[in-house]
Structure 1
Amino acid sequence: MILRKLENIITQNLFRKKVIVILGARQTGKTTLLKKIMAQNDNCIWINGDEYDIQERFKNATSTQLNALIGNHRLVIIDEAQRLENIGLALKLLHDNYPEIQIIATGSSAFELLNKTNEPLTGRKLEYQLFPISFEEMIVSNTQLIEKRHLNTRLVFGSYPEVINNEGGEIEVLKFLADSYLFKDILMLDTIKKPEKLIKLLQALAFQIGSEISYNEIGNLIGLDSKTVENYINLLEKAFVVFKLNSFNRNLRNELKLSKKIYFYDNGIRNALISNFQMAEARQDIGALFENYLISERMKFNHYNKRYSNRYFWRTKDQQEIDYIEEIDGKLYAFEFKWNFNKKATISKTFTNAYPNSETRIITRDNYENFLS
């Protein structure tokens, strides 16, 4: 059992008169995490939002009807809460009328769950995200040395719990996740008119990690208009499949201002979409995989350790670039990622001259652990 960073965070915030909302893609371990928390507490009830009879009971439910469902239980866990109609109002009624109850609601679609709970739960909730297993979590379980030995495996197969726990069966698990499970919530949305185009979009994004993207060019490639491409990508972000980095610009006239890159939360899902599980040593895209891994893992590290930052990449029209920038309390931290030891790594002098107070680092296979833990 791998200890999740979120376990202690949630445990410390139980029974503080706040609804706890946990977001994250399906199969990241929300159910396992909450069953462990449930085992450590008495008088609990588990409610599954995917079940039809539960969905019916939440329709237009009053506080009295909800209390009858919950009974005398003090810890109430509502799994896949986004599937329940009026869930925001239901949680508000329970929180306001029965403050002694601790409610934990989980969801694999931020688009649906946050839309339904943001207004009713204003000032009443604590919100967290559960990612695929992080490097920091793995070194607690494995030690840093052992986890570093698994770098090539993580770059290809990613870090979903079931993938890590099925050594030798990673491909089968990832194909199942990518083909039939991970996009379940998105494909059920009425706004997805052409599901086959969504898969083509994901494949196009998978081939372009680490590169600037154009919604118009991708749309022409797969047969969608640029606005639909943008809408689909926004939904994929809300379902925790991909995330965006925007370009950073402040001082220079030739800095790119409206460019963006798309990365995947998990390398394994990216590789499953293009059916490429070739091992790291022989891959042509290894630099892009290393970059995607580092940025996604850094996101996990920052989230779990409450390091709040703005995230960017930087590039000029004459191809000067920085892979990744964080802005924390007005200070810039710039990082250049290098997989290939044979290529000399440098930080752009154009950048350091324009932003002389920034801190810069080069991240390689030798020192990446300090970037992620």
Structure 2
Amino acid sequence: MLRQIIAEALGSGADPKSILYASIDAPVYSRMPLEKFLSFLPDAKETGIIIFDEIQYLPDWEVHLKDLVDSYPNIKFIASGSAAAALRLKSRESGAGRFSEFMLPPLTFYEFLLFSGVDEQLIEVDSRSDRPVYSAREISVLNERFIDYLNYGGYPEAVLNQEVRESAEQFIRNDIIDKVLLKDLPSLYGINDITELNRLFSVLAYNAGNEVNLESISKSSGITKPTIKRYIEYLESAFLIIKLTTVDDNCRTLQRERNFKVYLNNPSMRAALFAPVKTTETDKIGHLAESAIISQWQHAIAFRQLRYARWRNEGEVDVVYLSGADGRPDWVGEIKWSDRIADHFAEETRSILTLIQKHKSIRSAFFTTKTTSSVTELDGRPVAVTPSALYCYTVGRNVTSQLSMIAFPELATKVSAA
């Protein structure tokens, strides 16, 4: 992407002598002050583009970069790095008002199919309305590709490089997970017991998509609850996990957070830690599908408004979207890898119905399956029943196109127009 920025600048007529790219992890640049790089561009003092890649390898980089931004206001400085937690922490400490922060989430399922060159073969687009509607040409084939996505598809290198794809687990484990767990987080936060952090992440990754209880994790891992809380914050800041908080059937956040859900920022990490999921492992696919769909929403600003609902009498709804200043529920959904709803609709949608009846603000709902699809109603509100793979694709395509957080926004339109 950095090279694409350079290519676009050159294509727009920028002087090649006013552009500099430097990878700070190169030994020749070890501990070199950032300002010294300007000596390589004597004509760029008035205008130019300077890109520092892997900037976290320079001690106190944020101080150096802040000084450059202040001293050379006409130069565009771009800094990137793989240590996401370090970049976020340091940029917010020293770059307030000066730095614009961009987070690059994993590939969406839509991008995975696009990069694989099979998007048009698998997806049919109906563009007759204001918002495109997507359907699977053959759901069984789309499901196969979805499982590929769960196993390795979140990383561009694995999608585009056959050699990396053949050893995807090793690439993801060694180049990404271990680098963050064993190097970035310990150096940033002063973590002494790396084994303990690694053990906790393995427990969370194995149970991704399940509800997590601090008490039970503490007992099973032997790690104290305060330490677990602190480590979870670290893992979130490093974009390894996503934490979803709970609301009750009144859609109010519980005062004491005992339970929450943890998802993998990229579902492919589970395959790297344990083993690739197989088509016959329905339960595992179900939890990973939930992680995958939740991770698609990372591309949307409104991602922070997502919750899950749980209340007494075993009521639970996987996704609750809260909107507005008052935090009222706007839409809800259940994520499954099963077609059981076709014969047990009332039983499968019982919890969704409870929320819909209790909150008139809920405009629509969704329920994902393995292969079946339909559009129905609950208490006068439309419900989209659709395969998880297609829903994941639609969410990913909508949010990357900045259309909507809802995979099927036309359902909400029907309600508000009624």
> Contact between 1:155 and 1:280, CA under 8 Å: does it hold in 2?
no
* CA displacement at 1:250 relative to structure 2: 7.2
What is the aligned partner in structure 1 of residue 39 from structure 2? 68
> Contact between 1:254 and 1:316, CA under 8 Å: does it hold in 2?
no
Which of residues 120, 143, 162 is equivalent to 2:119?
143
Q: Residue 243 of structure 2 aligns to a residue in which SS? A: strand
Match status 1:371 vs 2:395: yes
Distance in 2 (alpha carbons) for counterparts of 1:319 and 1:248: 14
Distance in 2 (alpha carbons) for counterparts of 1:106 and 1:170: 25
How many residues align? The count is 332
With a CA cutoff of 8 Å and minimum separation of 6, indicate the structure with the bigger relative contact order: 1
> Contact between 1:267 and 1:292, CA under 8 Å: does it hold in 2?
yes
- Give the aligned residue type for 2:321: E
What is the aligned partner in structure 1 of residue 198 from structure 2? 199
Q: When the two structures are superposed, what TM-score results if normalisation uses the length of structure 1?
A: 0.79
1:67/1:214 CA distance change after superposition, 3 Å = same
Distance in 2 (alpha carbons) for counterparts of 1:295 and 1:320: 20
- Once the two structures are superposed, the pairs formed by residues 288-307 of structure 1 within 5 Å of their partners are 288-300=287-299, 302=300, 306-307=301-302
> Contact between 2:107 and 2:154, CA under 8 Å: does it hold in 1?
yes
* CA displacement at 1:323 relative to structure 2: 0.5
Match status 1:336 vs 2:334: yes
Match status 1:95 vs 2:98: no
What is the aligned partner in structure 2 of residue 346 from structure 1? 349
What is the aligned partner in structure 2 of residue 183 from structure 1? 178
Which of residues 45, 49, 54 is equivalent to 2:29?
54
- Once the two structures are superposed, the pairs formed by residues 3-18 of structure 1 within 5 Å of their partners are none
* CA displacement at 1:38 relative to structure 2: 1.6
Distance in 1 (alpha carbons) for counterparts of 2:163 and 2:38: 47
1:194-243: CA deviation from partner (whole Å, max 9, x where unpaired): 22222221221122112221233223322321222222222222221111
Which of residues 20, 25, 34 is equivalent to 1:45?
20
Match status 1:260 vs 2:273: no
- Give the aligned residue type for 1:146: L
1:114/1:180 CA distance change after superposition, 3 Å = closer
- Give the aligned residue type for 1:203: S
1:38/1:169 CA distance change after superposition, 3 Å = closer
Match status 1:358 vs 2:362: yes
More displaced stretch, 198-207 vs 185-194: 185-194
Between structure 1 and structure 2, the one with the greater Rg is: 2
* CA displacement at 1:173 relative to structure 2: 2.2
- Give the aligned residue type for 1:117: S
Pairwise CA RMSD of aligned residues? 2.8
1:354/1:126 CA distance change after superposition, 3 Å = same
Which of residues 307, 312, 330 is equivalent to 1:312?
307
> Contact between 1:82 and 1:109, CA under 8 Å: does it hold in 2?
yes
- Give the aligned residue type for 1:260: F
Q: Where does structure 2 lack aligned partners over 5 or more consecutive residues?
A: 10-15, 124-135, 137-141, 371-386, 398-418
> Contact between 1:337 and 1:364, CA under 8 Å: does it hold in 2?
yes
Distance in 2 (alpha carbons) for counterparts of 1:245 and 1:254: 11
Q: When the two structures are superposed, what TM-score results if normalisation uses the length of structure 2?
A: 0.71
Match status 1:325 vs 2:356: no
Distance in 2 (alpha carbons) for counterparts of 1:298 and 1:283: 23
* CA displacement at 1:175 relative to structure 2: 2.1
Q: Residue 100 of structure 2 aligns to a residue in which SS? A: strand
What is the aligned partner in structure 1 of residue 271 from structure 2? 271
- Give the aligned residue type for 1:34: L
